[in-house]
Structure 1
Amino acid sequence: MGNPCPWNQPGGYVYRVRRALAAAVSVGLAVSMAACAKSERGEGGEGDSNATLTIAGTGKPKNFDPIFNDDGESFRPARQIYDTLIQNKAGTADLEPALATKWDVSPDGKEITFTLREGVKFQDGSAFNAAAVCFNFDRWFNMKGAAAQSQMIYYADTFSGFAKNETDSAGDPIYKSCTAKDDKTAVVALNKFRGALPAALTLTAFSISSPDALKKYDADKVTQSGDSFTYSSYATEHPTGTGPYKFEKYDAASGTTTLVRNDDYWGEKAKTAKLVIRTIETETARKQELEAGSVDIIDFPAAQDWKGLESKGMKVEVRPAFNILYLGMNEKNPKLKDLRVRQAIAYAINRDQLVKTKFPEGAEVAKEFMPSTLSGYADDVTQYNYDPAKAKSLLAAAGASNLTLKFYYPTEVTRPYMPDPKAIFTSIAADLTAVGIKITPVARPWNGGYKDDIQQAGKQDLHLLGWTGDYNDAYNFVGTFFGREKPEFGFTDKTAFAQIAAADAEPDADKRKADYEQVNKDLVGKYLPAVPISHSPPAIATAGNIDGLVASPLTDERFFTVTKKS
């Protein structure tokens, strides 16, 4: 028999990319990759339990209260501090117990009974129990203030509405109540069947916080000034969960988060005494720091560096591409309200060339807004192959031959679906300019205004953004993007919203699959609120003395299993 882990062979980085693509056909294949990684890495001993593990993040966290976040750099520390009721098995998108040892869903899907893990303590010493679970659910549901609700993107996407909706985009709430039958049994009641549940409860946003700490540090106090939000001391200084690491401090100037081992953790104790997450905004600087030994793990190394890193003794793990990059088009602009203009933009972009030149090996052009591995993916959607002449013709027919558009792109960040934002922007902008569209570039820091401008204020005409899937369901992609009205797209078609909601509410799996296939066909052919660009396999790299890392297709790695040899 051959080497069961051939990506560890010399030159294996190319094989590993192909392996990642094969894994994308079945996300669960990542289990075998993770098993090999564990096997290979388990041979070198336990490592130094007093060590500090240093990770290079690509951007600063917004805060440390998971319910108010929606980006990977904020969730990276949160995943170490908190636990959810259900989690994804390491290296896969499969569900497994976390704070709940099991969950039972009623036949009509309107009631989920959680049997909770006993003997668990929050990091402030208070008890984890059913009352604490219900406190968290009721906190989310009863959140007051338009500013707070507008920041609870995951809650709004999953549960539709609040006890008192204060924004026009919120809908009828799916959540009904949570009852603590006893200390170890929490029953969550829903107003209707929700196809994305219970899988969506793996989302880091739904981490369980200490009720005592939430109350002590006034966690729900969120104030807004213009497009900026200010959060409570719970979110900035005192996040309190049940996870393997505890919050110690955050240096806002440098973007450095310091966590320490939670010696009272209910599960396997963290293998390192301290976990430091440093913000290093450029990929080149992250690579140099890894090579110099200043950091132990870097995320999203450039594909052209994978082989070089391995030749210097580093380890590179390539995750399956479970993501999407899109070019958003804001229909608040009357010209972009015209479907012909949006179609012209789609035809103007040479996506094949873009993906070949600006993305890692194994990336592919996206036909729709979710990966092909998800149930509900449609093979026969409308195609927008590169056709500048057709783009010009559509613009002329729409009376938009002299169109000028503000094109926003992010700085100070690298995302799994967007390895080099400026280079991608430059390529797309050149294609659009070539068909007569005048581009006004607007560069904004990722956590310094970009997302607020795009997702809250809707200031842009065009923008680059994307998504790494959080759980294995079509709604997590198309519903998150287009399930309700958002400033990001200015997309207001209630028929489309109802169509997505109906697909999610269909309990029959076969019918639900067919419904989502139709959703995908209509989103690309009938509505086109954005242009799907690519699916890209991201990597994570470690120093040679680091063992035990299990790469995740969801990019939701937990670091308590990681050892560092001195």
Structure 2
Amino acid sequence: MLHMHRSVRLIPGLLLVILCIACAPAAEVNSASPNRIVYGLTLSPGGFDPHRNESSELGIPMRQVYDTLIYRNPTDGGFVPGLATDWSISDDRLTYSFNLRQDVKFHDDTKFNALAVAANLDRIVNRDTRSTKALTLLGTYAGYELTGEYSINLKLAEPYSPLLDSLSQLYLGIASPTALAQYATMPERYQFHQVGTGPYMMSELILDNRLVLRRNPNYTWGPSFYLPADDNMVEEIEYRFFADPPTRFTALESGTASIMGEIPPLTARSMTGNSQIQLFPAAVAGQPQQFLINTRLFPTDNLAFRQALVLGTNRSAINDIVFQGFSPVAWGPITSNTQFYNNAMNGLYEYDSQEAIALLASAGYIDADLNGYLDDPSPDKEDVEVKIIVPPWGATPQIAQLIQDQWKILGIKALLTPVPDFSTLLDLVTQGDYNLVAFYTFGVDPAFLNSFFTTDGSRNWTGFSNPELDRMLFDAQLQLESGTRNTLYGNAQQMIMDNALILPIREYVNLNGAVRDIEGLTFDPYGWFPLMANVRLKQP
């Protein structure tokens, strides 16, 4: 039976703020439980349902609740079996066939099979679910065919090479069809009652307060890199939220938390001599921390001007001051640990204020009134101003302040517009009255570049349009052969930087801290999500 889904339009999810303590499977939180830890998150996401929401933060706990059809091995990034034992791709690259494990049960004792996979796919493409990232990850998915109790074919409308990468991500984790059916008419309620097949089960969720998981005692079907269960495993994990950066190290030091994400770099530097606290840096694949440059608005509509901005930004100094040397300088539109990174990016636009000033002069920008700022080449001779949208995350306000100071050397006046959240940022971007905006996303496969740099990309906030770049990025999504994709993505990276469409700052490194009793803390290849099945508590 072939089920084809209709074209789906993305609609922002509506979150009903409902506090719910009774979650399935229910469990009472016992602060005296043996092998119990507190894991600190940096913010409370707008929602915890990976099919509906897209925050990286939600994946930290939910990666433990859900298994995926396949996984990426954290050692080499290669694909390994998960809930699927093996898979194959048709010659026309339009059918992906999966054979499934036959020994798996969901936390509610529902049997895992092909029907369960189908139920999850149906939910993601259903308009009522209002899926965000999960739906995007499915790419050109057009339906499925059930070929047996434990086998399923996924059908594509056109070849989509990132599909395996997508299926390895938490956002396409497989949920219990029984639980999904129970909340089918209230998809926003499912986040409080999530049921997967993973090594941990959801016990309690109180929005903006805590999320509690407990170990799944029946879990024996994890990927090859999961360790077998033993007495030193973490039995219960309570996730709490530490939005204020200074409180994170304090929580570790006081024993309030055992593991903490995103330790501020200055604090992390001071931890190096602390025998009670361990530091676990995790490189995050995807886009670097960057500013997208608007090519449609004066003065960044001029190539030489854009190139001067990149050349005139001392990124090494920014990384030393803000990130204490923990993060490498970023040179291009993807990080060096992202698939198909072009090594020719290394050292591109290295800081040179004199060359930047010369570029500006060649484009007609001079300080005619000698007030310290370059003037508009037009007859009005107004000071040149560059408008920057500055969100609060990733120390972006500190970065923007340093850029503002550095650009004064070039004679450029940077106007900073702080925004409190993503929705406000999106409103300003929609209005179009900006020159730079700080935004980036994460992923191992660089297919995410399409939404940022193709003419009709949903986040083409540079406004750049080039048929050749469009062709390269679309072709890279169609091809399976890695050498071909490497060439296409390499050329695309070069074109993006030749046109100075971004100001890359640093490769994102998540600085995680843990008390000394924590052993085996590692992260998946995406850099955000810990493998809690491998964490052990050192016994006294």
TM range (shorter): 0.7 to 0.9
Match of 1:41 in 2: none
| Larger Rg over CA atoms | 2
1:497 aligns with 2:497: no
The whole-number CA distance in structure 2 between the counterparts of 1:219 and 1:431 is 54
1:18-29 correspondence to structure 2 within 5 Å? none
- Note the alpha carbon deviations across 1:438-493, whole angstroms, 9 max, x for none: 4443334457x466557888785433233443x3x3325x3354355234615352
Cα distance in 2, alignment partners of residues 269 and 458 from structure 1: 53
Paired with 2:323 and 2:382, the residues of 1 have a C-alpha distance of 31
Which blocks of at least 5 consecutive residues in structure 2 are unaligned? 1-31, 222-227, 366-375
- Say if 1:456 and 1:487, in contact at 8 Å, map to a contact too: no
The DSSP-based 3-state class of the residue aligned with 1:198 is helix
In structure 2, the residue matched to 1:188 is: 154
Q: Which residue of 2 aligns with 1:277?
A: 239
Task: Report how many aligned residue pairs link the two structures.
Answer: 478
1:429 and 2:404 are equivalent in the alignment:
yes
Kindly provide the CA deviation profile for residues 32-77 of structure 1, in whole angstroms up to 9, marking residues without a partner as x: xxxxxxxxxxxxxxxx973321111112122111133333212112
TM-score (norm 1): 0.75
Higher helix proportion (structure 1 or 2) = 1
Structure 1 match to 2:212:
258
Is 1:75 the equivalent of 2:87?
no
Q: SS at 1:538's partner residue?
A: strand
Contact 2:41 2:261 (8 Å CA) reproduced: yes
- 2:170 corresponds, among 201, 204, 217, to 204
Structure 1 match to 2:518: 546
User: Does the aligned pair in 2 maintain the 1:549–1:559 contact within 8 Å?
Assistant: yes
| Preserved contact between residue 90 and residue 96 of structure 2 (Cα < 8 Å) | yes
Asked if structure 1 preserves the Cα contact closer than 8 Å seen for 2:252 and 2:515, the reply is yes
**Shift in CA distance, 378/92, structure 1 to aligned 2, threshold 3 Å:** closer
Partner of 2:49: 65
Provide the rounded CA distance (Å) in 2 between the counterparts of 1:385 and 1:106.
48
Distance (Å, rounded) in 2 between the aligned partners of 1:507 and 1:98 = 21
Q: 1:128 aligns with which of 107, 112, 115?
A: 112
Counterpart CA distance in 2 for 1:490 and 1:215 is: 42
Cα 1:375–1:529 shift into 2, 3 Å: same
Matched residue, 1:17 = none
User: What amino acid maps onto 2:357 in structure 1?
Assistant: A
436, 444, 462: which one pairs with 2:436?
A: 462
Distance 1:445 1:204 in 2: 27
Work out which of the residue numbers 39, 45, 61 in structure 2 matches 1:55: 39
Q: Give structure 1 stretches of 5+ with no counterpart.
A: 1-47, 161-173, 222-231
> Secondary structure of 2:167's match?
helix
Q: In the alignment, residue 275 of structure 2 is paired with which amino acid?
A: K
Q: 1:562 aligns with which of 532, 535, 538?
A: 535
TM-score by length of 2: 0.78
In the alignment, residue 463 of structure 1 is paired with which amino acid?
A: V
1:280 deviates by 0.9
Aligned to 2:15: none
Is 2:202–2:212's contact at 8 Å kept on the other side of the alignment? yes
CA distance in 2, matches of 1:461, 1:129: 51
Alpha-carbon displacement from aligned partner over 1:349-407 (angstroms, at most 9, x marks no partner) = 22232123222435332221123355543344563643341464347377596344543
Q: Does 1:319 align with 2:275?
A: no
Match for residue 453 of structure 2 among 476, 482, 487: 482
Q: Determine if contact 1:454/1:463 at 8 Å carries over to the other structure.
A: no
Superposed CA deviations along residues 84-118 of structure 1, whole A, max 9, x for unmatched, are 11112245523222111222222332221111112
Distance 1:233 1:437, change over 3 A: farther
Amino acid in structure 2 at the alignment position of 1:72 = S
Matched residues in 2 for 1:77 and 1:428: separation? Answer: 35
5 Å-filtered alignment, 1:96-107, equals: 96-107=80-91
> What is the CA–CA distance in structure 1 between the aligned matches of 2:126 and 2:248, rounded to whole Å?
41
Distance 1:402 1:137, change over 3 A: farther
Partner of 1:32: none
Aligned-pair identity in percent equals 22
RMSD of the TM alignment (CA)? Answer: 3.2
Q: How does 1:133-532 map to 2 (within 5 A)?
A: 133-143=117-127, 148=130, 152-153=132-133, 155-156=135-136, 158-160=137-139, 174-218=140-184, 232-235=188-191, 237-254=192-209, 256-267=210-221, 271-304=233-266, 305-306=268-269, 308-320=271-283, 322-323=285-286, 324-331=288-295, 333=297, 335-361=299-325, 363-374=327-338, 376-380=340-344, 383=349, 385-387=351-353, 388-390=356-358, 392-393=360-361, 394=363, 396=365, 402-411=383-392, 413=393, 418=394, 420-446=395-421, 449=423, 453=427, 461-469=435-443, 471=444, 473-476=445-448, 478-479=449-450, 481-483=452-454, 484-487=456-459, 489-491=461-463, 493=465, 495=467, 496-526=469-499, 528-532=500-504
